[in-house]
């Protein structure tokens, strides 16, 4: 698939996806959501890619939300479909990707933009980042998982405050809330994300994918997370990565995981 709104670059075992609609502050229109779905799907299949970093183009925005001009005239039915399709194609898809995804929040992350950052496995922000779920100011509610993931990440009371006021918080407050893990100067944002990506890349890709699955299971009411953990733990013992990891430890050398 040829991408128009998404750029992909690779740096050793790390792929960087840049949402590239800077004149619209990288707002998520339908085409961009579709392209992101395919970009993540392709990169997950690529065994050379150990980590994905997601960011926005330019210095102003990560993503300023879903593209308001596209849904302003939607009916109830179309609105529901927009949310369900988007959640399935992008937000749940990213959250459950077996390859870890770091959000490099380089500016405004509003509405669908913050929801996308929250669907990533963790977040690092630049000092100029501003985050919020302003949907109620438009007469809607967050529809890409925001009412679920924000309370999971920062607690119900803080999420209620953010969603009901529709206000933005700055990077320092987001750090205090635990919404982002680190805040750095914008010029150091990608370097810091690459540092984490490098550390992750040293580890077993199979174990990492099981860890993501088990952690996510704990936030799914219909699944017993402990049970998923036990099964995933057991499965690790049948992998070449486990053999290599334990052998390398005993041989006092760095593991070279086959990723299987």
Least distance in Å: CB of 173 to ligand COA?
17
Beta bridge partners, 95, equal none
Least distance in Å: CB of 27 to ligand COA?
4
Is residue 135 part of the contact set for ligand COA (CB under 6 A)? yes
Catalytic position from the list 34, 95, 115, 251:
115
The verdict on whether 135 is a catalytic residue reads yes
Is residue 136 part of the contact set for ligand COA (CB under 6 A)? no
Least distance in Å: CB of 25 to ligand COA?
4
Q: Which of residues 174-203 bind ligand COA (CB under 6 A)?
A: none
Is residue 91 part of the contact set for ligand COA (CB under 6 A)? no
Residue number with CB closer to ligand COA (7 or 138):
138
Read out DSSP for 14-76?
Answer: EEEEEE--GGGTT-B-HHHHHHHHHHHHHHHH-TT--EEEEEESSSSEEE--B-HHHHTT--H
Per rule CB under 6 A, count of chain residues that contact ligand COA: 16
What's the CA gap between 39 and 17, in Å, rounded?
A: 8
Is residue 117 part of the contact set for ligand COA (CB under 6 A)? no
DSSP E strand boundaries for 98-203: 101-105, 108-110, 122-126, 130-132, 168-170, 182-184
What's the CA gap between 151 and 158, in Å, rounded?
A: 7
What lies within 8 Å, CB to CB, of 153 at 6+ separation is 118, 159, 177, 178, 179
Is residue 67 part of the contact set for ligand COA (CB under 6 A)? yes
The verdict on whether 78 is a catalytic residue reads no
Question: Using CB under 6 A as the criterion, which residues of the chain lie in contact with ligand COA when the complex forms?
Answer: 24-25, 27, 64-69, 108, 110-112, 134-135, 138
Query: Would you please indicate which residues are annotated as catalytic (active-site) residues?
Result: 115, 135
């Amino acid at each position: 698939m040829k991408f128009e709104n998404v750029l992909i670059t690779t740096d050793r075992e790390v792929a960087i996806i840049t949402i590239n609609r800077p004149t619209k502050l990288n707002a998520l229109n339908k085409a961009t959501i579709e392209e992101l779905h395919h970009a993540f799907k392709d990169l997950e299949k690529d065994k050379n890619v150990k980590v994905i970093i997601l960011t926005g183009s330019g210095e102003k925005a990560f993503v300023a939300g879903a593209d308001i001009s596209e849904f302003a005239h939607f009916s109830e039915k179309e609105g529901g479909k927009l949310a369900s399709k988007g959640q399935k194609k992008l937000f749940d898809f990213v959250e459950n990707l077996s390859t870890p995804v770091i959000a490099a929040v380089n500016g405004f992350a509003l509405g669908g933009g913050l929801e996308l950052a929250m669907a990533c496995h963790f977040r690092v922000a630049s000092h100029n980042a501003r985050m919020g779920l302003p949907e109620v100011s438009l007469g809607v509610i967050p529809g890409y998982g925001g009412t679920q993931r924000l309370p999971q990440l920062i607690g119900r009371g803080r999420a209620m405050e953010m969603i009901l006021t529709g206000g933005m918080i700055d990077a320092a407050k987001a750090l205090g809330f635990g919404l982002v893990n680190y805040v750095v100067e914008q010029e150091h944002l990608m370097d810091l994300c690459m540092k984490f990506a490098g550390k992750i890349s040293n580890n077993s890709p199979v174990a990492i994918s099981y860890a993501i699955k088990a952690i996510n299971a704990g936030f799914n009411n219909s699944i017993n997370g402990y049970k998923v953990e036990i099964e995933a733990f057991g499965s690790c013992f049948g992998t070449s990565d486990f053999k290599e990891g334990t052998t390398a430890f005993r041989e006092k050398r760095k593991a070279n995981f086959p990723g299987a």
